[in-house]
Amino acid sequence: MRRWEEVAVKVYDALALAFAREGTTDVFGMMGDANMHWINAMVGHGVRVYNARHEGGALGMADGWARSTGQPGIATTTCGPGVTQLSTTVMVARRARTPIVAFCGETAVGDDDDTQFLNVERYAAAVECGFVRVAKPEMAFDAVQRAFYLARSQSRPVILSAPEDVQRCEFDDEQTYVPAMRLIGDNRLAPSPADVENAVKLIGASERVVVVVGDGARRAAVGDLVLELHELTHALVATTLRAKNWLRQETDFHAGISGLFATKSAIELLQQADCVIAIGASMNRYTIEHGYLYPAAKYVHIDVRPHLTMGNGALADCYIQAEARLALVELNRALRSRPANGAGYHTTLVRDSLAAALKDPEKFDPEPGAVDPRDACRVIDEELGGDVGLVLGSSYQSGFGAFLLSKPRRDVLVNYGYFGAIGQALILGIGAVVGSGYRPTVVVDGDASFMMYLSEFETACRYHMPLLVVVFNDQALGAESHKSALYGLDPELTLIRTPDLGQVAASLGGRGALVREPEELRAALREFTDSPAPTVIDLRVARNVLSITDRRLHFGADV
Amino acid sequence: VIEINERLDIPAATAHVWRVISDPAAVVRCVEGAALDGPVDNGYLPVSLVVKFGPMRVRFTGRATLTLDERTHVGELAATGTDGQATRVRARSSFAVSETSPASAAVVIAGRIELTGKLAALIESGAAAVVRRMTKEFAEALSAACVAADGSADTVPPSQPGWMRRALVKLRRMWRARPRNVLEGQP
């Protein structure tokens, strides 16, 4: 490592030092003229740099890394065209509220005629990013600190734009870097006693309580308190899509996902709620189905953020701005002295109804040589242990997984609904593998989505990642195929054949298999669990199997 | 906007069919999830309707008007309602009963249902499927009710609450007494 006091310190050195002081351990990016000095300096600080094949892919990896670790992810690009490649993935990260700092090079200050010139500030605004420029050499530390402060405090991606000429200037090495966390501090927000009292009154007047837990609750590790709360109130537990399957194994009264991916039994039960206690969940329109999922319920909402407007446009009847653990400790303490109103949801009937909820009785005749995607989900759950992380994409076929993959897993990353962009699951999965310390991870995605960042599978191979991609391959744009039939359009126009993706994976340096039967899938999954390595299973799935959500949305089916 | 265009062939005499279809309580009984919520209020019927969009129940409350032309056996039903979650539904349909034989009649229904607000985005094209299903169920129930009709004009099922029975009888008499070119001038 370069000794700070021995050589003339450049701004890129100072910038790298500041990133290291922020705790950066992994960077995802592509090298170019405008970030190569910084990358070299980062490596000098012992930071691992993962070379991606596309800047957008790199940012998606940083997104997956951040969602896995809870810390800001770091991506890097060169100037101009390197930056604009970020567009879709940075929007996804923004909508997922992922803290990311993207170190982006910039052409020399004032040289607007440079062929790679980009007005980065305007670009950042367009993609809903925070923006900080290293405007002067002496501002290097301030700029990094501000970028991390914005990323952490606002939970969003921030572009740190560093002009090439500024990067190569000398830096005053008398400065001391203060990490952004010291500005933010770790003060724990306690609930106000009046809010807790209001919540207790509201809950005490209710008979059917649902506790909806989101990613905020999962990250706060308050599972023990949530379970106590559900016992005290005889409540159902439901999760947001993002917290899918969390606590599922801990109670018989787990209703699964609150929202479109809820089972029929769960929806019928949730609609009877007269009180919803939301913990670390934004309660957006998808979680509460615009309010229709809980038409008669009062809401108690616990979150660290200032008062949130829910997806029905309303404010909670009782909002407790507090850290989840502190709020639940106080709430449970107050509720212990008040018996619940009757059995609530904790009855044999409810338990039996929920236990049978995931069975989909609808019969389809899959095309020859294709697997029913519902069977595939069952086999995946049976074969992959709970220690294998799960990353779900947002393709049509991933919807089967969002609905049916119910095995509790240590790590679950769901990307459904963030900007509605396909193509993200593989790159998020790569980041999640790195963030989890190389724990085996399965990505479940559709064929069109996987093909979009196919080149990044080679990145997974190059870094020997224990990453399995199960491509639910219907050789079509799945959602559009079904909608075309519905709208009287030509479904043939949605067909896009793929080659054998197992062979493609092998060519890129990994392993692969083409699978047309459930038992072939089982064998391929076992090969991965026996020896985790970069693997693609090209699972040919039946195109004519309609998802439950499609049957509801397009045919009004009571399923 | 969801369009309804249905023709129902009912094995019952035209008079019986008209009697059922001009009886709000009887019509409401033919719609699963529908209920009259109170007496006639200034010419309007307070109504509610619980609709299942997939497994999710949505309850609309609103008011309806029924206008009838006794001479031509033509009528119009108009209704508006909300679901308490910022979705509004407006429905308007006309219907005509005609004799196809001394023992059978045809009911031709043409209507439009307009759904605006959050629910419209939530249920996408499924709404049309739900309306089709409900129309089919309505046709079956109406057909059965017409066949079972006994020809007693003012008979109201004893299961109706007293105030509702009185209101319906009053409403029916009011309709008979007023000008019947009711497709014009009604809200």
| Maximum C-alpha span of chain B | 48
Q: Which pLDDT belongs to residue A489?
A: 96
Q: Report whether B43 contacts B19 (CB < 8 A).
A: no
**Strand ranges for A119-215 from DSSP E:** 130-133, 157-163, 209-213
Q: Which of A112, A123, A130, A389 is nearest to A245 (CA)?
A: A389
Q: Which residues in A104-115 are b (16+ Cβ under 10 Å) and which e?
A: bbbbbeeeeeee
How far from chain centre, in Å, is Cα A195? 31
Work out the minimum CA distance from A551 to partner chain B, whole angstroms. Answer: 8
Assign 3-class secondary structure to A391-406: EECCCCCHHHHHHHCC
Q: Does A378 touch chain B (CB under 8 A)?
A: no
**How high is the mean pLDDT of chain B?**
81
The C-alpha R_g of chain B, in whole angstroms, comes to 16
Q: Does A514 touch chain B (CB under 8 A)?
A: no
3-state SS, residue A142: helix
Q: Which pLDDT belongs to residue A108?
A: 96
Residue B159 has pLDDT above 70, yes or no: no
| Chain B residues touching chain A at CB-CB below 8 Å | 52-59, 83-86, 118-119, 121-130, 133
Which of B85, B113, B132 is best to mutate for the A interface (most A CBs within 10 A)? B85
Q: What global pTM score does this model have?
A: 0.89
According to DSSP, the residues that pair with A443 across neighbouring strands are A391, A469
Contact: A313, B125; criterion CB under 8 Å: no
Phi, psi of B3 (to 5 degrees): -95, 140
> How many Å from the N-terminal Cα to the C-terminal Cα in chain B?
19
Contact: B52, A267; criterion CB under 8 Å: no
Q: Is A492 exposed, middle or buried (0-12, 13-18, 19+ CB in 10 A)?
A: exposed
Of the candidates A267, A292, A555, which has its C-beta nearest B126's C-beta? Answer: A555
Rounded to an integer, what distance in angstroms lies between the CA atom of residue A350 and that of residue A268? Answer: 11
Q: Which pLDDT belongs to residue A6?
A: 52
Which of B2, B52, B118, B133 is best to mutate for the A interface (most A CBs within 10 A)? B118
Rounded to an integer, what distance in angstroms lies between the CA atom of residue A330 and that of residue A323? Answer: 11
Contact: A290, B119; criterion CB under 8 Å: yes
Pairing type for strands A511-515 and A535-540 reads: parallel
Q: Does A290 touch chain B (CB under 8 A)?
A: yes
Work out the minimum CA distance from B33 to partner chain A, whole angstroms. Answer: 15
Alpha helices in A192-234, H assignment, sequence order: 193-204, 215-219, 223-233
Give the count of beta carbons closer than 10 Å to the beta carbon of residue B39: 15
According to DSSP, the residues that pair with A321 across neighbouring strands are A303
A10 backbone φψ class: left, alpha, beta (φ>0; ψ -120 to 50): beta
Contact: B55, A268; criterion CB under 8 Å: yes
A300, containing H or E segment: strand A298-303
Contact: A556, B133; criterion CB under 8 Å: yes
Tens digit of each residue's pLDDT, chain A (559 residues): 445 555 679 999 999 999 999 999 999 999 999 999 999 999 999 999 999 999 999 999 999 999 999 999 999 999 999 999 999 999 999 999 999 999 999 999 999 999 999 999 999 999 999 999 999 999 999 999 999 999 999 999 999 999 999 999 999 878 899 999 888 877 789 999 999 999 999 999 999 999 999 999 999 999 999 999 999 999 999 999 999 999 999 999 999 999 999 999 999 999 999 999 999 999 999 999 999 999 999 999 999 998 889 999 999 999 999 999 999 999 999 999 988 889 999 999 999 999 988 888 889 998 899 999 999 999 999 999 999 999 999 888 889 999 999 999 989 999 988 999 999 999 999 999 999 999 999 999 999 999 999 999 999 999 999 999 999 999 999 999 999 998 899 999 999 999 999 999 999 999 999 999 999 999 999 999 999 999 999 999 999 999 999 899 888 899 9
Rounded to an integer, what distance in angstroms lies between the CA atom of residue A238 and that of residue A243? Answer: 9
Q: Collect all residues of chain B within an 8 Å Cβ-Cβ radius of residue A291.
A: 85, 118
Q: Report whether A432 contacts A391 (CB < 8 A).
A: yes
Rounded to an integer, what distance in angstroms lies between the CA atom of residue B89 and that of residue B78? Answer: 11
Rounded to an integer, what distance in angstroms lies between the CA atom of residue B168 and that of residue B154? Answer: 9
A512, containing H or E segment: strand A511-515
Q: Which pLDDT belongs to residue A188?
A: 85
Handedness of CA B81, B87, B90, B91 (dihedral sign): negative
- Please give the structure tokens belonging to residue A460: 């997974």
ipTM of the assembly? 0.80
More reliable by pLDDT, A84 or B84: A84
Q: Report whether A383 contacts A529 (CB < 8 A).
A: yes
Work out the minimum CA distance from A299 to partner chain B, whole angstroms. Answer: 15
Q: Report whether A400 contacts A472 (CB < 8 A).
A: yes
**Strand ranges for chain B from DSSP E:** 2-10, 34-36, 45-53, 56-69, 74-82, 87-101, 104-117
SS3 content of chain A, % helix, strand, coil (to 5): 40, 20, 40
Residue B119 has pLDDT above 60, yes or no: yes
Assign 3-class secondary structure to A6-68: CCCCEHHHHHHHHHHHCCCCEEEECCCCCCHHHHHHHHHCCCEEEECCCHHHHHHHHHHHHHH
Of the candidates B54, B57, B84, which has its C-beta nearest A556's C-beta? Answer: B54
Which of B61, B122, B130 is best to mutate for the A interface (most A CBs within 10 A)? B122
Of the candidates B53, B57, B85, which has its C-beta nearest A556's C-beta? Answer: B53
- Residue whose entry in the numeric block shows the structure tokens 């793929």: A498
Q: Which pLDDT belongs to residue B166?
A: 52
Give the count of beta carbons closer than 10 Å to the beta carbon of residue A388: 22
Q: Is A167 exposed, middle or buried (0-12, 13-18, 19+ CB in 10 A)?
A: buried
Q: Report whether A549 contacts A261 (CB < 8 A).
A: yes
Q: Which pLDDT belongs to residue A301?
A: 98
CB pairs under 8 A between A and B: 68
Q: Which pLDDT belongs to residue A7?
A: 60
